[in-house]
């Protein structure tokens, strides 16, 4: 494998309109911000990554953070694991969570992309995995919209990739409305569709206990984030009390958060987020921890890199699929028979749709 040196990074930020608005307990979103990074090397190889840090107004601060952090690695031969270790140390004075970690993750993903391109292999193969298609569910819809719209939407969502599972957002005004929503999804998509659910942290512990007891035998595949994500004691109480599996993890900031949650028995299942877990390196550590606890590991957003990583995650469960980032990607990953297909090209296989990057550019220098 050829050795390549990191030269500099080029960062572009966008705020891309969503096909349909996100209407959730955490807020309503019509656009989604992304930060796209091109990592230049002393060869023709360019490492690429994107993160979606939720807050358009913080794109500038994260960009600055990436630029400052990247100085450490300039003119050095790319070694992603060593760079991550040094990067973690470098951000420790900012704290191991938040924008320092997002900056480290965006660099880490791009370093791994460049490193696997230098080996001529897809990232999954480079890490010791395969290109076997991975089971995925459609998570891009079924928000807190009128119940009578859900059946029609569920039917469309299933057909988009012959999905076997969909994500439904619940925590409506009454338990009966949540049950009705479940029935409508089944009516539209078919009785064999698996329904994963997300409360988006809408309850206090006592509210969650009441609601989840009423929904426990409905047939949901999992309950996601019923209460605030970092209340591990509360989540552990619910996990012990409720029969339906409980999942948390999109808000784990780094592998240590994941370890703390598992030590606390705060959930049955986990679903880390590529950006918040610390990119590829943070994920690899986390996958090892999850495996030692024998806990099933699903992904949150970022379906492309997550698919590669699920291939080397021993307890891999579901890949979450949404199309939110598709406009910025030249060739979005294909979904077939409810599975995501990893392209057989070196690295992650992401190229930018330059027109969209220009059209929805956010001026971070303003």
Binding site for Mg ion (CB under 5 A): 198, 224
**88 vs 198, which CB is nearer to Mg ion?**
198
Output the smallest distance, CB 226 to Mg ion, in A: 11
Output the smallest distance, CB 42 to Mg ion, in A: 40
Output the smallest distance, CB 359 to Mg ion, in A: 29
Output the smallest distance, CB 44 to Mg ion, in A: 39
CA distance 157 to 140: 8
Output the smallest distance, CB 23 to Mg ion, in A: 14
**39 vs 181, which CB is nearer to Mg ion?**
181
Contacts of 245 (CB under 8 A, 6+ apart): 221, 222, 223, 268, 269
Q: Which residue is nearest to Mg ion (CB)?
A: 198
CA distance 72 to 295: 36
β-sheet bridge partners, residue 10 = 38
**184 vs 198, which CB is nearer to Mg ion?**
198
**9 vs 142, which CB is nearer to Mg ion?**
142
CA distance 347 to 79: 15
CA distance 299 to 303: 8
**88 vs 224, which CB is nearer to Mg ion?**
224
Q: Which of 354, 351, 347 is nearest to 111 (CA)?
A: 347
CA distance 234 to 249: 15
Output the smallest distance, CB 52 to Mg ion, in A: 13
Buried b (16+ CB within 10 A) or exposed e, 143-174: bbeebeebbebbeebbeebebbbbbbbbbbee
Output the smallest distance, CB 247 to Mg ion, in A: 9
**281 vs 298, which CB is nearer to Mg ion?**
298
Q: Which of 165, 134, 167 is nearest to 335 (CA)?
A: 134
**41 vs 200, which CB is nearer to Mg ion?**
200
CA distance 263 to 308: 27
């Amino acid at each position: 494998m050829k050795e390549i040196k990191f030269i500099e990074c080029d960062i572009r930020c966008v705020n891309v309109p969503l096909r349909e608005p996100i209407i959730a307990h955490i807020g309503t979103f019509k656009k989604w911000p992304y930060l796209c990074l091109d990592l230049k090397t002393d060869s023709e190889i360019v490492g690429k990554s994107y993160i979606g840090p939720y807050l358009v107004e913080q794109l500038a601060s994260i960009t600055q953070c990436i630029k400052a952090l990247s100085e450490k690695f300039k003119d050095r031969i790319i070694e992603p694991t060593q760079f991550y270790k040094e990067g973690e140390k470098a951000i420790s004075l900012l704290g191991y969570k938040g924008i320092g970690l997002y900056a480290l993750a965006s660099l880490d993903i791009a370093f791994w992309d460049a490193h696997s391109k230098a080996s001529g292999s897809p990232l999954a193969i480079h890490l010791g995995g395969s290109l076997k298609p991975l089971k995925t569910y459609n998570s891009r819809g079924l928000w807190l919209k009128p119940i009578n719209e859900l059946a029609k939407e569920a039917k469309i969502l299933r057909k988009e990739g012959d999905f076997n599972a969909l994500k439904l957002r619940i925590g409506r005004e009454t338990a009966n409305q949540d049950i009705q929503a479940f029935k409508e999804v089944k009516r539209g998509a078919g009785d064999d569709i698996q329904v994963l659910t997300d409360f988006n942290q809408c309850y206090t512990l006592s509210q969650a206990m009441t609601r989840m007891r009423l929904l426990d035998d409905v047939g949901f595949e999992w309950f996601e984030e019923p209460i605030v994500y970092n209340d591990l004691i509360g989540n552990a109480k619910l996990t012990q009390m409720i029969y339906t599996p409980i999942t948390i993890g999109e808000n784990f900031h780094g592998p240590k958060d994941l370890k703390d949650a598992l030590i606390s028995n705060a959930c049955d299942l986990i679903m880390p987020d590529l950006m918040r877990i610390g990119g590829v390196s943070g994920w690899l550590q986390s996958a090892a921890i999850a495996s030692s606890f024998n806990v099933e590991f699903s992904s949150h957003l970022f379906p492309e890199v997550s698919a590669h990583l699920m291939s080397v995650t021993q307890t891999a469960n579901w890949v979450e699929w949404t199309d939110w980032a598709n406009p910025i990607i030249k060739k979005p990953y294909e979904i077939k028979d409810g599975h995501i297909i990893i392209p057989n090209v070196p690295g992650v296989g992401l190229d930018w749709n330059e027109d969209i990057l220009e059209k929805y550019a956010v001026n971070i220098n303003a």
